[in-house]
């Protein structure tokens, strides 16, 4: 029995508890699910530190803190508002959409391979002489880039899909928001991968081209793009913005009811 196996079990137990809490309207299940989910996120920074991805270290720690806050809130107040119940349901849906790709090898490799091939074919459309050196490796000008799960944008797509599908709104507007957000994220991710490969392959930023392109420019660009996509989703689904606003108000007033 390995640590990874224990972490994986804790993850799925937490997600199933959150899903069950939403379906059964049991806040006690949600509190346990949030707490277990928090410990899962606390196990992740070590991996990101090993690859010097400090941005995701910060995100994992922030996610753990949010989960602990939600566990405390739900334990003390129960589902005192629709926002608490919605957040538990949304977290479960997001996790169920994302983690199969993170934990099931054929799904993960299939998505990575598809993204690698799509990136290469996109660059070839613009007469960029890229070469496939492996099922997940693309090369340009003698320099290779490995495509990993984080390069597929599945995290962002699952996040948007989860919060959109879980909100109480007319199906037509939810479908429109889902298609707009996920398709835009995937297309922009292919652009991101292409930019990083070209910057590194052609040495646009000198000897540190990969780091500058991938960890600075692409990270900032992705953040700005997600903010813009969020704005479009809120225009299509104002109900989602109301849920988020109510949840934020609850978290700002943990000792009592939100004003």
**pLDDT tens per residue across span 202-246:** 999 988 899 999 989 998 999 999 999 999 999 999 999 888 888
Based on the fold, state whether residues 109 and 150 are members of the same structural domain: yes
Based on the fold, state whether residues 213 and 140 are members of the same structural domain: yes
CB of 257 closer than 8 Å to CB of 78:
no
Residue 212 lies in a domain: yes
CB of 37 closer than 8 Å to CB of 14:
yes
Q: What is the mean pLDDT of residues 108-137?
A: 94
Q: Which structural domain, as residue segments, surrounds residue 186? A: 100-259
What is the predicted pLDDT for the residue at 187? 95
Based on the fold, state whether residues 112 and 214 are members of the same structural domain: yes
User: What are the contacts of 112-118 at 24+ separation with CB within 8 A?
Assistant: 112/136, 112/147, 112/148, 112/149, 112/151, 112/152, 115/147, 115/151, 115/152, 115/189, 115/190, 115/193, 116/147, 118/190
What is the predicted pLDDT for the residue at 258? 36
DSSP H or E segment with residue 179: helix 171-201
Q: In what order do the strands lie in the sheet with 143-146?
A: 131-134, 137-140, 143-146
What is the predicted pLDDT for the residue at 254? 55
What is the predicted pLDDT for the residue at 255? 54
- Of 45, 65, 66, the C-alpha closest to 57 is 45
CB of 136 closer than 8 Å to CB of 214:
no
Based on the fold, state whether residues 59 and 122 are members of the same structural domain: no
Based on the fold, state whether residues 54 and 136 are members of the same structural domain: no
Based on the fold, state whether residues 117 and 32 are members of the same structural domain: no
What is the predicted pLDDT for the residue at 122? 95
Q: Is 120 exposed, middle or buried (0-12, 13-18, 19+ CB in 10 A)?
A: buried
Based on the fold, state whether residues 110 and 192 are members of the same structural domain: yes
Residue 181, pLDDT above cutoff 60 = yes
Residue 224 lies in a domain: yes
C-alpha to C-alpha distance for 145 and 210, rounded to whole angstroms: 9
Q: Of 5-9, 20-24, 128-132, which range is least confident?
A: 5-9
Largest Cα span, the chain:
61
Where among 14, 48, 79 does a domain terminate? 79
Residue 252, pLDDT above cutoff 80 = no
Q: What is the mean pLDDT of residues 181-192?
A: 95
Q: Is the dihedral of CA 130, 133, 138, 144 positive or negative?
A: negative
Based on the fold, state whether residues 71 and 122 are members of the same structural domain: no
Residue 173 lies in a domain: yes
Query: How far from the centroid of its chain's Cα atoms is residue 36's Cα?
Result: 18
CB of 183 closer than 8 Å to CB of 174:
no
Band of pLDDT at residue 185, cut at 50, 70 and 90: very high
Based on the fold, state whether residues 107 and 143 are members of the same structural domain: yes
Based on the fold, state whether residues 109 and 207 are members of the same structural domain: yes
More confident residue, 168 or 2: 168
Domain count, the chain: 2
């Amino acid at each position: 029995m390995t640590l990874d196996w224990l972490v994986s079990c804790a993850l799925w137990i937490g997600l199933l508890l959150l899903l069950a809490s939403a379906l059964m309207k049991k806040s006690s299940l949600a509190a346990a699910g949030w707490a277990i989910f928090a410990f899962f996120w606390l196990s992740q920074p070590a991996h990101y530190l090993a690859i010097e991805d400090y941005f995701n270290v910060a995100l994992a720690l922030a996610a753990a803190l949010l989960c602990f806050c939600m566990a405390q809130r739900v334990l003390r107040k129960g589902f005192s508002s629709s926002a608490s119940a919605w957040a538990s349901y949304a977290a479960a849906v997001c996790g169920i959409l994302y983690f199969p790709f993170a934990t099931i090898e054929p799904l993960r490799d299939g998505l990575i391979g598809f993204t690698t091939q799509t990136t290469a074919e996109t660059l070839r459309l613009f007469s960029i002489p890229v070469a496939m050196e492996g099922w997940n490796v693309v090369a340009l000008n003698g320099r290779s880039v490995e495509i990993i799960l984080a390069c597929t944008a599945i995290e962002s797509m699952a996040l948007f899909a989860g919060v959109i599908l879980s909100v109480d709104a007319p199906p037509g507007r939810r479908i429109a928001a889902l298609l707009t957000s996920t398709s835009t994220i995937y297309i922009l991710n292919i652009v991101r991968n292409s930019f990083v490969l070209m910057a590194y392959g052609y040495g646009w930023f000198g000897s540190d081209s990969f780091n500058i392109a991938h960890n600075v420019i692409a990270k900032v660009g992705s953040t700005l793009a997600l903010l813009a996509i969020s704005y479009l989703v809120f225009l299509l689904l104002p109900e989602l913005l109301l849920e988020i606003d109510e949840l934020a108000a609850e978290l700002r007033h943990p000792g009592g009811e939100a004003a």
